Amino acid sequence: MAREQTVAVVGAGLAGCLLATLLGRRGIPVTVYERRPDPRVAGHERGRSINLAISTRGLAALEEVGLREEALARALPMHGRMVHPLGGEQNFQSYSADGTRAINSISRAELNMALLEAAEATPGVTVRFGHRLTNVDAEKGRLTLETPDGVVTEDVDVVLAGDGAYSAARRMTEGVEPFTHTQDFLEHGYKELTIPPVDGEFALSPDALHIWPRGNAMMIALPNLDRSFTCTLFWPKADFDALDTPRKVREHFEARYPDVVGLMPDLADEFARNPVGSLVTVRTWPWVRSGAGATVALLGDAAHAIVPFYGQGANCAFEDCVEIDRCLDETGGDWRRALSIYQERRKPNTDAIAEMALDNFVEMRDRVASPVFRLTRAAQHA
């Protein structure tokens, strides 16, 4: 009888946890290696986006593991954009003609936790925290991982790398010909701020994704269940550096975001304290490499990190997992064939969404405030 294949997932992020759950349900034992400590013990990592917009694509994937309703119960629907022009009235632009369609604002940490718990509750799934991948040897079929107790190696047949935009697994499989890889960084970075509740209530309408389009810069805000909003500034990196005193921060917000500056009591502190994140588009090919010992496949941001302006990175990562599961079904569990079909099917879709995400930055920071754009949308919905 053929030996059972040893399957490793790298990264217990959104994609890694969903994929491990799907594989466990299929009866495939899988070990997930995550570099961070267990968030239930160590708390959540700072400096990553606090909330995410999950749309139909993501919800359909979560439904596969029975988490759709749980996710929706922890989410707030946003039925449109609330645009805050400088010097004008805020205006609501519905996401659908009949006003019923919404995207859902959800805490990234809570969503990750729900997925992690689903993975761990699935027979056959083991999660090892504090295991940072440092090497993948596809010829020997071996992973090298750093742990608090020293370096360990694991023999594997299949490696599914969901280790994010700066994937270690991707770096280690690069350089084998033929290979293409680009990482395009925007000149813009992002920083998160908070609008706390006012007298226990939302300070802005909770039913919308708020946008302050300001030409080359913008701010957005998504509602949280605790009735706060998380604001994200998308600014040229030099603009963050220029505001190097509390007074400059306050004066800038009074001039550029006058309708919300009064709702941000910790503005100057948060601005100084919170990090500036980078925005990268990763295009790489192939996503799958087979050596004599193991097949290594990339998924999620490791394969196709995109800028967040279409709110589709996590949704796409989830779709990768469902596609891998589907391909295993279609090939009767033949990993090499399944992963080969997976990458061929997903790549055109993720390339397309990467371009749409870049285009949407221009639309969000500029065109949503223009009268022409609003007229066009009104005509589409008529």
- We find the least distance from the C-beta atom of residue 135 to ligand FAD, in angstroms, to be 10
- Pick the closest to residue 316 from 23, 57, 8 (CA basis): 57
Q: How far is the CB of 33 from ligand FAD (least distance, A)?
A: 5
Q: Is the peptide bond before 178 cis (omega within 30 degrees of 0)?
A: yes
Can you read off the two tokens belonging to residue 101?
């369609």
Q: Say how far apart CA 112 and CA 18 lie, in whole Å.
A: 9
Question: Of the listed pieces 64-72, 88-96, 195-203, 301-309, which binds ligand FAD according to CB under 6 A?
Answer: 301-309
Of the residues 34, 137, 319, 325, which one makes contact with ligand FAD according to CB under 6 A: 34
Is residue 315 at the binding interface for ligand FAD, with CB under 6 A as the rule? yes
CB closer to ligand FAD, 112 vs 122: 112
State the sign of the Cα–Cα–Cα–Cα dihedral 317, 322, 324, 327: negative
Instruction: Kindly tell me which residue out of 20, 62, 311, 343 binds ligand FAD, with binding defined by CB under 6 A.
Output: 311
Cβ nearer to ligand FAD, comparing 356 with 374: 356
In whole angstroms, give the CA distance from residue 379 to residue 382: 5
Q: Which residues contact 26 (CB under 8 A, 6 or more apart)?
A: 325, 328
Q: Supply 274's token pair.
A: 């919170």
Yes or no: say if 131 and 145 are a contact pair by the CB < 8 Å rule.
yes
Residue 223 found at the interface with ligand FAD (CB under 6 A): no
Least spacing, CB of residue 305 vs ligand FAD, in Å: 7
Selected binder of ligand FAD within 80, 189, 213, 313 (CB under 6 A)? 313
193 forms part of the interface with ligand FAD (CB under 6 A): no
> Which residue's CB is nearer to ligand FAD, number 277 or number 333?
277
Report which residue type is found at 52. Answer: L
53 vs 288 by CB, closer to ligand FAD? 53
317: contact with ligand FAD by CB under 6 A? yes
Please give the Cα distance from 19 to 162 (Å, whole number): 9
What count of other Cβ atoms lies within 10 Å of the Cβ of residue 163?
A: 28
Does residue number 298 form part of the binding site for ligand FAD (CB under 6 A)?
Answer: no
User: Residues binding ligand FAD: what is the number (CB under 6 A)?
Assistant: 33
The gap between the terminal CA atoms of the chain, to the nearest Å, is 64
Contact 243, 271 (CB under 8 A): yes
User: 154 and 142 in contact (C-beta within 8 Å)?
Assistant: yes
Among 141, 189, 223, 308, binds ligand FAD (CB under 6 A): 308
Residue 108 CB, nearest distance to ligand FAD (Å)? Answer: 7
Rounded distance between C-alpha atoms, residue 9 and residue 160, angstroms: 5
Binding status of residue 12 toward ligand FAD by CB under 6 A: yes
In whole angstroms, what is the distance from residue 13 CA to residue 11 CA? Answer: 5
Residue with smallest beta-carbon separation from ligand FAD: 13
Stretch that binds ligand FAD, among 34-42, 93-101, 197-205, 350-358 (CB under 6 A): 34-42
CA distance 72 to 106: 8
Q: What x/- string results for residues 229 through 268 when contact with ligand FAD is judged by CB under 6 A?
A: ---x------------------------------------
Nearer residue to ligand FAD within complex by CB, 46 or 381: 46
The answer to whether 329 and 315 have CB atoms below 8 angstroms apart is no
Instruction: Read off the tokens for 121.
Output: 């509750």
| Sole binder of ligand FAD in the list 83, 102, 163, 257 (CB under 6 A) | 163
Sign of CA dihedral 335, 341, 344, 348: negative
Cβ distance to ligand FAD smaller for residue 261 or 280:
280
Q: Tell me: does residue 164 bind ligand FAD (CB under 6 A).
A: yes
- By CB under 6 A, name the binding residues for ligand FAD: 10-16, 33-36, 49, 52-53, 132-133, 162-164, 168, 190, 232, 277, 300-302, 308, 311-315, 317
